[in-house]
Structure 1
Amino acid sequence: MAEKNMIIALVLSIIWSGLGLIYAGDIQKGIILAVLAIIAELIFLFVSAIFGIVVFIIWVYSLYATYQEVKAVNGE
């Protein structure tokens, strides 16, 4: 697999949880995180503001997982 650019991957994850993982090649985990983020954001918007914390946690985990995946793909 070709090397992936860390900055591009992290920017994609900042834009939307899971996109960086999809770019890095872990498509299944990326889609799961993206769907979880959508569900958490909908609950946050329409049910309970406390889910803002869950959205933030998913976002931070997505950044961490993207960082680890890109390092693994690049052999670092």
Structure 2
Amino acid sequence: MANKNMIIALVLSFIWSGLGLIYAEDMQKGIILAVVAVICYILMYFVSPIFGMVVFIVWIYSIYATYKQVKVVNGQ
């Protein structure tokens, strides 16, 4: 298991929820967060803008989870 670059992981999570987790070798959680983000974006545009808050919460959690996962992978 190779060390992962924290900056790359966080930038990926900043771009799209879950990408940083996938980079940091947590495929299951990364894919789930990416799918939840897509579903919430769709619901935000077609159902209610309230889902925009959910997208924001998922995005923030994704960045936090990526930070924690990279630390675990790097053994810190």
The TM-score with structure 1 as length reference comes to 0.99
Q: Percent identity?
A: 72
Number of residues paired by the alignment?
Answer: 76
What's the Cα RMSD here?
0.4
Matching of residues 42-53 of structure 1 within 5 Å: 42-53=42-53
Structure 1 gap ranges (5+): none
Aligned to 1:13: 13
Q: Give the secondary structure class of the aligned counterpart of 1:25.
A: coil
Amino acid at match of 2:51: F
Structure 2 gap ranges (5+): none
What is the rounded CA distance, in whole Å, between the counterparts of 1:58 and 1:41 in structure 2? 11
Report runs of 4+ in structure 1 exceeding 3 Å deviation.
Answer: none
2:27 matches 1:27: yes
Q: Give the secondary structure class of the aligned counterpart of 2:49.
A: coil
Alpha-carbon distance, 1:25 to partner = 0.2
Alpha-carbon distance, 1:31 to partner = 0.2
Q: Give the secondary structure class of the aligned counterpart of 1:57.
A: helix
What is the rounded CA distance, in whole Å, between the counterparts of 1:45 and 1:10 in structure 2? 26
